[in-house]
């Protein structure tokens, strides 16, 4: 019993310590961000390309099929009430408010987040970060902040592309396959989906972008510098990001409803 209590105490203390360090790490990234954004923007653009453009194909393919399957589900259920015209609205709401940001963030964690973690982890394992320190170059501002900002900027753009391609997938299924009237399909969306709905999606994608990028660079920076350590950190990035995003999704939705 004493041993269990001691373990719980130790784990709690360790969790609080790690969480505190995580917050300080976040503040350090924010502290260095303005200098990068206004002083060395091309470095950030390169990371937007790395995080964003390289995730584009996977995001577009997934967006297309998610939109298509949403339209399938919506059509089969709406047709029971003779409300097939609302197929597009159901798909649009689901994509813009929920699945666009959430799915993109999870795909982003799997594609770009893991790449960030393993890249930074390997830089640590091969003394590249220590070499920068020795060259009087702060690795936080030179390596971590550009990658963090690249992820934060890329995520909302990817989420927008996911939703747009998803709507195209919904159009293919709803209009081309099930012959829903194209005018009704898009007019219902135009009349029903409001700016506040789009804003909700934008807010979520920004928050998820910050969370996914932050977790990825944190895990990379705190990797145990061995092959096994980098592997574990990469796995943790995906698992922690997925859980964090789903929790944040619930909290943001509850706050905005």
Partner 1 sequence: MLSSGVTCQGYYFVLADYSKNLIEIQDLTFSRGPRKIFDGLDLTIKRGQVTALMGPSGTGKTTLLRLITRQLIPEHGTIYVDGVDISTLDQSELYRLRQRFGMLFQNGALLTDLTVFENVAFPLREHTKLSQRLIRHIVLTKLHAVGLRGAAAMTPAELSGGMARRVALARAMVMDPDILLYDEPFVGLDPISMGVIVRLVRRMNDALGITSILVSHDVEEVATVADNSFLLSDGKVAASGSPDELRTANSELVRQFMHGMADGPVAFHYDAPSYEEQLLGRDTE
Q: What is the Cα–Cα distance from 55 to 52, expressed in whole angstroms?
A: 5
Nearer to partner 1, 28 or 85 (CB): 28
Nearer to partner 1, 123 or 153 (CB): 123
Does 136 bind partner 1 (CB under 8 A)? Our answer is: yes
Q: What is the Cα–Cα distance from 102 to 205, expressed in whole angstroms?
A: 8
98's tokens: 């929920």
Q: What is the Cα–Cα distance from 209 to 230, expressed in whole angstroms?
A: 22
Does 42 bind partner 1 (CB under 8 A)? Our answer is: no
Nearer to partner 1, 45 or 203 (CB): 45
Scan for tokens 């929920």, then name that residue: 98
Provide, rounded to whole angstroms, the least separation between the CB of residue 120 and partner 1. 12
Q: Are 240 and 212 in contact (CB under 8 A)?
A: no
Does 5 bind partner 1 (CB under 8 A)? Our answer is: no
Does 73 bind partner 1 (CB under 8 A)? Our answer is: no
Contacts of 26 (CB under 8 A, 6+ apart): 214
Stretch that binds partner 1, among 91-99, 101-109, 118-126, 222-230 (CB under 8 A): 118-126
CA distances from 222 to 20, 104, 113, 154 (A): 14, 25, 14, 23
Stretch that binds partner 1, among 8-16, 27-35, 83-91, 123-131 (CB under 8 A): 123-131
Nearest to 193 by CA among 95, 57, 49, 78: 95
Provide, rounded to whole angstroms, the least separation between the CB of residue 212 and partner 1. 21
Provide, rounded to whole angstroms, the least separation between the CB of residue 106 and partner 1. 27
Count of residues that bind partner 1 according to CB under 8 A: 15
Does 253 bind partner 1 (CB under 8 A)? Our answer is: no
Q: What is the Cα–Cα distance from 26 to 37, expressed in whole angstroms?
A: 16
How many residues are given for the chain? 257
* Interface with partner 1 (CB under 8 A), residue from 1, 5, 135, 254: 135
3-state class of 181 per DSSP? coil
3-state class of 129 per DSSP? helix
Nearer to partner 1, 135 or 195 (CB): 135
* Interface with partner 1 (CB under 8 A), residue from 127, 190, 226, 235: 127
* Interface with partner 1 (CB under 8 A), residue from 6, 10, 126, 226: 126
* Interface with partner 1 (CB under 8 A), residue from 1, 5, 134, 257: 134
220's tokens: 């990379």
Interaction site with partner 1 (CB under 8 A) = 122-123, 126-128, 130-138, 142
């Amino acid at each position: 019993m004493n041993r269990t209590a001691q373990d719980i105490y130790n784990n709690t203390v360790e969790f609080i310590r790690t969480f505190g360090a995580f917050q300080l790490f976040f503040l350090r990234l924010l502290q260095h961000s303005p200098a990068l954004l206004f002083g060395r923007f091309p470095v950030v653009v390169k990371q937007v390309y790395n995080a964003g453009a390289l995730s584009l194909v996977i995001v577009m393919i997934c967006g297309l099929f998610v939109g298509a399957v949403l339209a399938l589900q919506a059509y089969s259920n709406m047709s029971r009430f003779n409300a097939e015209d609302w197929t597009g609205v159901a798909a649009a709401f689901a994509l813009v408010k929920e699945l666009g940001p959430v799915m993109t963030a999870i795909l982003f964690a799997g594609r770009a987040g893991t790449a960030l973690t393993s890249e930074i982890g390997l830089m640590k394992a091969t003394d590249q970060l220590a070499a920068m320190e020795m060259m009087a170059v702060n690795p936080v501002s030179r390596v971590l902040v550009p990658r963090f900002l690249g992820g934060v900027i890329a995520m909302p753009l990817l989420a927008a592309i996911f939703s747009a391609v998803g709507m195209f997938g919904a159009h293919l299924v709803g209009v081309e396959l099930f012959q829903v009237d194209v005018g009704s399909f898009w007019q219902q969306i135009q009349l029903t989906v409001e700016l506040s709905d789009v804003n909700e999606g934008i807010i979520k994608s920004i928050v998820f972008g910050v969370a996914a990028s932050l977790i990825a660079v944190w895990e990379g920076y705190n990797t145990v510098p061995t092959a096994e350590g980098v592997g574990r950190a990469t796995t943790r990035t995906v698992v922690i990001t997925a859980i964090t995003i789903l929790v944040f999704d619930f909290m943001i939705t509850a706050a905005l409803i």
